[in-house]
Structure 1
Amino acid sequence: MDHAADAQRTDLMTITRHALNEQGRHPESRGDFTILLSHIVLGCKFVASAVNKAGLAKLIGLAGETNVQGEEQKKLDVLSNEVFVKALVSSGRTCVLVSEENEAAIFVDAPLRGKYCVCFDPLDGSSNIDCGVSIGTIFGIYMIKDKDNATLEDVLQPGTNMIAAGYCMYGSSCTLVLSTGNGVNGFTLDPSLGEFILTHPNIKVCDTAYSNTVVSTIYSLICNKRLAYFYHICASWLCRYQTKGRSTR
């Protein structure tokens, strides 16, 4: 019997356990960020479940509204936005919420006001739902200096001030990738446990990258006049196609 393998299967590093370990690196911490993260994780679990049931629950149809980017909102867009707004507000740790689905920022009322600002897209790529392609949630977290006098200026901070960022991708599996400034880690949702388990620790970009996309190949051969002309024709066609409100997917 492989006892080492059994130990590895039972000694699971959940995202909550990981957050608590990171919290231990900062003795002055009161656990506010860990609580906020747990509410974000809860929102991701809810949306993951809704995405899996989208066809049965008839959540794929359009809701008849448009978001701030001028895109038609899907029912799943609206649901995801409501889920994350409520989850973040109820955490009692947020002050300002900025969602792609809302034209204006949301300022949390005093009783539940915290010291964090969360910028997020509750469901990016929702127009791909009917194609069965991956969609996901994107979020970034900033800290606000004065929670009692928060303004939009507190949101307009450089990326270097971000204390955490991540995304959750929904598909055949649900993967949450998170960075709190100490490396990047990937967690996969185990449906049987209902927990995100660390499956991709310490993700890094390779020193040498290889590109195999069609666009990069065309650019690499752009010196060929025939290829350059072909690329120009394709680009012009795509531009005309998109101006008619159609998708190139």
Structure 2
Amino acid sequence: MHNGTTITQFIIEEQRKIEGATGDFTSLLNDIVTACKVISNMVNKGELIGVLGSAGSENVQGETQKKLDIITNEVFLKSNEWAGHLSAMASEEMDDIYEIPNQYPRGKYLLTFDPLDGSSNTDVNVSVGTIFSILRCPGERVCPNKDAFLQPGTQQVAAGYALYGPSTMMVLTTGNGVNGFTLDQDIGEFILTHPNMTIPQSTREFAINASNMRFWEQPVKRYVDECLAGAEGPRGEDFNMRWIASMVAEVHRILTRGGIFMYPIDEKMKAKGTGGKLRLMYEANPMSFVVEQAGGMSSTGRQRIMEVQPDDLHQRVPVILGSSEEVERVVGYHCD
């Protein structure tokens, strides 16, 4: 028998600290937890249940979908549509919002999610994850439209991610710090294993897709060149570079041992007319909330990510996040 705090117990105890809490928010988080358990089971079984490989379709961003992208998106919808806590949902994998079906009651919250971040890694058995964010539905919540979702990240009620790696973890913030839970497969429960997670302020690791180096803006080139120069360069220290191509895995490494993750805008993106690579609503905002609550910093290079006013459901932004000293340095180079 375990003697740790389950995620359900943790959420209920947090609810008791809030005067007038109805339990809706607690139940919503529990439904998200259930969805992540189902997805974890599917990812772990992989080809044993025939879920790997391409689905032969594209999402709204024009990216080739994996079978698991479609399956996990459906898991999230079905796990969260029925309980009466949500007014609508939005997913990276869907063109438009998902309204709660008429046979179910509607609630006061909105849910955005990336059901399987880094899904291109599933075929090679590298860590992937789920990212989610909860917002309050403004005004009347009978039939919200996509404009209801266009809130800056500062309005998030909660955010987090599930990491499907050697162990499955859930990392969560409700605006009162960051806590990590590990799934005990024997009992089917997430147990609090990483309380009050904080990001070291300084670091000697950076993560960036170096294949785009020739397209980078000068501030990013300057920062990476200084890191690569090592102990003989202007920083006077040797740095390590990491790149997993799964934002969940990158952010989790930074939460545990520090570092900086960068997916900056570059000349190639500008030529295509995109504002960046990563999605504001499904990736950048929730991860920025987690990182800032853990003592880190998150920026586009020119603006705090959570203060960006969304103008589209699938808006993209540059992302530079992680240990505050390093992010401040890159932002300073942009200001220069």
TM value normalised by structure 2? 0.61
* Aligned 1:73-222 pairs, distance under 5 A: 73-110=65-102, 111-145=104-138, 146-206=140-200, 208-213=201-206, 218-220=225-227
How many residues were matched structurally? 217
1:77 corresponds to which letter in structure 2?
A: D
1:147 corresponds to which letter in structure 2?
A: R
Per-residue CA distance 1:30-61 (angstroms, 9 max, x = gap): 10011111110000000000001112111102
Structure 2: distance between partners of 1:214 and 1:200? 23
* Aligned 1:1-40 pairs, distance under 5 A: 10-40=2-32
Q: Which runs of 5+ in 1 are unaligned?
A: 1-8, 225-238, 244-249
Check whether the contact 2:86–2:111 (CA below 8 A) recurs between aligned residues.
yes
Query: Would you identify which runs of 4 or more consecutive aligned residues in structure 1 move more than 4 Å?
Result: 214-217, 221-224
The secondary structure found in structure 2 opposite 1:114 is coil
Instruction: Indicate whether 1:43 and 2:35 are aligned.
Output: yes
1:211 and 1:58, CA in 2 relative to 1: closer, same or farther beyond 3 A?
same
Deviation at residue 149 of structure 1 after TM alignment: 4.5
The secondary structure found in structure 2 opposite 1:35 is helix
The secondary structure found in structure 2 opposite 1:153 is helix
1:175 corresponds to which letter in structure 2?
A: M
TM value normalised by structure 1? 0.81
Higher relative contact order (CA 8 A, sep 6+): 2
Deviation at residue 10 of structure 1 after TM alignment: 4.1
Aligned residues: CA RMSD: 2.1
Structure 1: distance between partners of 2:22 and 2:62? 41
2:179 corresponds to which letter in structure 1?
A: N
Equivalent residue number for residue 5 of structure 1:
none
Structure 1: distance between partners of 2:153 and 2:162? 19
2:182 corresponds to which letter in structure 1?
A: T
The secondary structure found in structure 2 opposite 1:147 is coil
Structure 1: distance between partners of 2:142 and 2:11? 27
Deviation at residue 171 of structure 1 after TM alignment: 1.4
The secondary structure found in structure 2 opposite 1:23 is helix
Deviation at residue 214 of structure 1 after TM alignment: 7.3
Structure 2: distance between partners of 1:219 and 1:147? 51
Deviation at residue 19 of structure 1 after TM alignment: 0.5
Q: Which has the larger radius of gyration?
A: 1
Structure 2: distance between partners of 1:181 and 1:214? 26
Instruction: Indicate whether 1:72 and 2:79 are aligned.
Output: no
Structure 2: distance between partners of 1:214 and 1:124? 17
2:106 corresponds to which letter in structure 1?
A: R
2:115 corresponds to which letter in structure 1?
A: P
* Aligned 1:232-247 pairs, distance under 5 A: none
The secondary structure found in structure 1 opposite 2:107 is strand
Structure 2: distance between partners of 1:192 and 1:108? 34
Deviation at residue 117 of structure 1 after TM alignment: 0.4
2:169 corresponds to which letter in structure 1?
A: T
1:217 and 1:158, CA in 2 relative to 1: closer, same or farther beyond 3 A?
closer
The secondary structure found in structure 2 opposite 1:148 is coil
Equivalent residue number for residue 283 of structure 2:
none
Deviation at residue 69 of structure 1 after TM alignment: 1.6
Q: Percent identity?
A: 45
Check whether the contact 2:87–2:143 (CA below 8 A) recurs between aligned residues.
no
